Structure 1
Amino acid sequence: MQKMTAMIGIVLAFAGSAAFAQTTEATIKKLIEPRLGEGAKVESVTKTPYAGLYEIQVDGDIIYTDAKAQYLFVGRVVDTQTYRDYTKERLQAINKVKFSDLPLDLAIKTVKGNGKRVIAVFEDPNCGYCKRFHKTLQEVDNLTMYTFQYNILSPDSIEKSKNIWCSANPSKAWSDWMLNGKAAPNAPASCNPPHEKVLALGQKMKVTGTPTIIFADGSRIPGAIDAKGLEEKFGTLK
Structure 2
Amino acid sequence: MMKRFALTGLAALALMASAAVAADESATIRAALAKVLPDFKPTSVKATPMEGLYEVEIGPQVMFVTGDGRYLIDGAIIDLESRENIAEQAQARARLRSIEQVGEENMVVFEAPSPEHTITVFTDIDCGYCRKLHEQIQAYNDAGISVRYMFYPRAGADSPAYDKAVSVWCADDRQEAMTRAKAGENIPKRQCANPVAEHRQLGELMGIRGTPAIVLDSGDMVPGYVEPKRLAGLLEQSASAN
TM-score, structure 1 as length reference:
0.69
Cα displacement string for residues 76-109 of structure 1 (whole angstroms, at most 9, x for unaligned residues): 21223443121222222233255994116x52x5
Is 1:161 paired with 2:161? no
Gaps in structure 2 of 5+ consecutive residues: none
Describe the shift of the 1:27–1:185 C-alpha distance in structure 2 as closer, same or farther (beyond 3 A).
same
**8 A Cα contact 2:141 2:147, kept in partner:** no
C-alpha separation in 1, matches of 2:102 and 2:163: 29
| Residue in structure 1 matched with residue 18 of structure 2 by the alignment | 17
1:15 deviation in Å? 1.9
RMSD: 4.0
C-alpha separation in 2, matches of 1:127 and 1:41: 33
Following TM superposition, the consecutive aligned residue runs of length 4 or more in structure 1 with deviations greater than 6 angstroms are 135-139
Q: Trace 1:49-198 onto structure 2 (pairs within 5 A).
A: 49-50=49-50, 52-97=52-97, 98=100, 101-103=103-105, 107=108, 115-117=113-115, 118-127=118-127, 130=130, 133-134=133-134, 140=140, 142=142, 143-154=145-156, 155-156=158-159, 157-161=161-165, 169-176=176-183, 183-185=184-186, 187-188=188-189, 191-192=190-191, 196-198=194-196
**8 A Cα contact 1:136 1:226, kept in partner:** no
1:73 deviation in Å? 0.8
Cα displacement string for residues 168-226 of structure 1 (whole angstroms, at most 9, x for unaligned residues): 942442442xxxxxx323635xx3366x32333564696653434356x5846353363
C-alpha separation in 2, matches of 1:44 and 1:90: 12
TM-score, structure 2 as length reference:
0.68
Describe the shift of the 1:82–1:9 C-alpha distance in structure 2 as closer, same or farther (beyond 3 A).
closer
| Residue in structure 2 matched with residue 48 of structure 1 by the alignment | 48
Asked which structure has the greater CA Rg, the reply is: 1
The one-letter code of the counterpart of 2:23 is Q
Gaps in structure 1 of 5+ consecutive residues: 177-182
1:140 deviation in Å? 4.4
Is 1:199 paired with 2:197? yes
